[in-house]
């Protein structure tokens, strides 16, 4: 299975370590096309267009999209929208922080499976359960 993992990069990298742990978990279910999301280093050698085209290609190639949507990100929202148009299965994970939850546009979309979690162990359990049924 090819997995496209999406998480905020330019919108804020405070969850990079969490992304790395989730990516490591996802590797037991298939190939994660976007392992770089778990890195604190942003590749500045490629243009915005190259990033866009590469990532859209990966979304097309993927069998499933997993998005961590706690940190708001235009890019993640864009990727989710494109994946919906491509009829990809999409799982969104989010935490409630300081009383703030994720967008109603995400949680209210019937094309997505959205799951709230409190810690990485809980997120891994959600992924385990969902990926066994996908």
Tell me phi and psi for residue 14, to 5 degrees.
Answer: -65, -15
Residue 40 pLDDT level (bands cut at 50, 70, 90): confident
> Does the annotation flag 19 for ligand binding?
yes
> Does the annotation flag 61 for ligand binding?
no
The pTM (predicted TM-score) of the whole model is 0.92
Q: What's residue 117's pLDDT?
A: 96
- State mean pLDDT over 116-133: 94
Calculate the alpha carbon distances from 41 to 9, 35, 36, 89 in Å.
10, 12, 8, 29
> Does the annotation flag 29 for ligand binding?
no
- State mean pLDDT over 92-103: 89
Angle made by CA atoms 63, 37, 49, in degrees to the nearest 5: 80
> Does the annotation flag 9 for ligand binding?
yes
Structural domains of the chain ordered from first start:
2-133 (3.40.50.450)
> Does the annotation flag 103 for ligand binding?
yes
> Does the annotation flag 8 for ligand binding?
yes
> Does the annotation flag 10 for ligand binding?
yes
């Amino acid at each position: 299975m090819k997995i496209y993992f999406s998480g905020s990069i330019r919108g804020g990298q405070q969850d990079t370590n969490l992304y790395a742990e989730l990516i490591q978990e996802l590797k037991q279910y298939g190939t994660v096309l976007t392992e770089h999301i778990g890195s604190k280093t942003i590749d500045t050698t490629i243009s915005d267009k190259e990033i866009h085209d590469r990532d859209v290609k990966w979304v097309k190639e993927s069998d499933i999209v997993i998005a961590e949507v706690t940190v708001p990100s235009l890019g993640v929202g864009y990727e989710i929208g494109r994946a919906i148009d491509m009829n990809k299965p999409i799982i969104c994970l989010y935490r409630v922080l300081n009383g703030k939850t994720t967008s109603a546009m995400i949680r209210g979309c019937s094309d997505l499976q959205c799951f709230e979690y409190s810690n990485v162990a809980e997120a891994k359990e959600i992924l385990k359960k969902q990926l066994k049924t996908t």
